[in-house]
Structure 1
């Protein structure tokens, strides 16, 4: 266990339909690196994880979106799953929360369908990113340069394609969260 993130607070923004592995693996990795982690969602209680299209575990929500501010955290993780980011991107408070991390130059890590929230927050123009292939056109239309790579980092924005990319995604997210603010990370 490393302590590279000791003293850091990292938010995970997710709701029902979150891809189980894309929530649990980064959560454990970031927590094992010393960070305090919190699950932020639209409502209190529990959210339902999925393994693709099958129900998985439920996860306890620490705070609701109306109880938090990007100022409270040092970084943000946006796990995928199809329904999870699709539901979040229709919630104005969730989108504002994501955008505020960029305004404050804080690192953000998004995997699979998670970058849909980045499109909605209008923070990908001119950025090099990757995602699940079905999100590619949305990212390109929002002004991003999309590439088919395991893990891409552009000034504090870490993106990956799928659960198979989790080892590289987790390592790079921890590195970026440890580094902290990025002068070029903008909304």
Structure 2
């Protein structure tokens, strides 16, 4: 890379979605830390401001993190890239939040890079942006992806027209590496 890792994304603004409860902690923290460390400006965005309680392995309560902005107070124009973590309950909650789904739809339709992992693709299905796309997710979502017109594949990380998807926390290294590449390329 020609730039240092600290400045690789210095002109990039990223929204990281977080549910009030149930987002998988490592799928939230690791991608967020990677883009922050690369110099991006990062906002944690959710249904409402306040605390977002994460989980480990879907069932064990973990740490709380600040949700800095609500979906209602931001727009797709505010961000160069978006990250959506998984966690069964968190992803299920996020896909029921109309303002968040609309933000995601507008972002993807604008052709901006969007990174989504594990159960997070439920939000993509709800946003109606997977038709004709190839993506991966936690294996139990493959029927949802196919029913929404997408092609589901069992791969560590998949990139299709700015949409970056991965299966689960075991894929985080590849997912984060791909986020840096794709977010960086989009900012050039």
Query: What's the TM-score bracket when you normalise by the shorter of the two chains?
Result: over 0.9
Alignment of 1:1-187 (within 5 A): 2=5, 3-15=7-19, 16-52=21-57, 53-180=59-186
2:50 and 2:97 mapped to 1: Cα distance? 18
Do the aligned partners of 2:24 and 2:56 also contact (CA within 8 Å) in 1?
yes
Show structure 1 runs of 4+ deviating over 3 A.
none
Q: Deviations over 1:135-163 (max 9, x none)?
A: 11000110111000000001110000000
SS of 1:48's equivalent in the other structure is strand
TM value normalised by structure 2 = 0.94
1:140 and 1:129 mapped to 2: Cα distance? 10
TM value normalised by structure 1 = 0.94
CA RMSD of aligned residues (A): 1.0
Structure 1 unmatched ranges of 5 or more = 182-187
Q: Shift of residue 103 of structure 1?
A: 2.1
Aligned length: 181
1:105 and 1:133 mapped to 2: Cα distance? 26
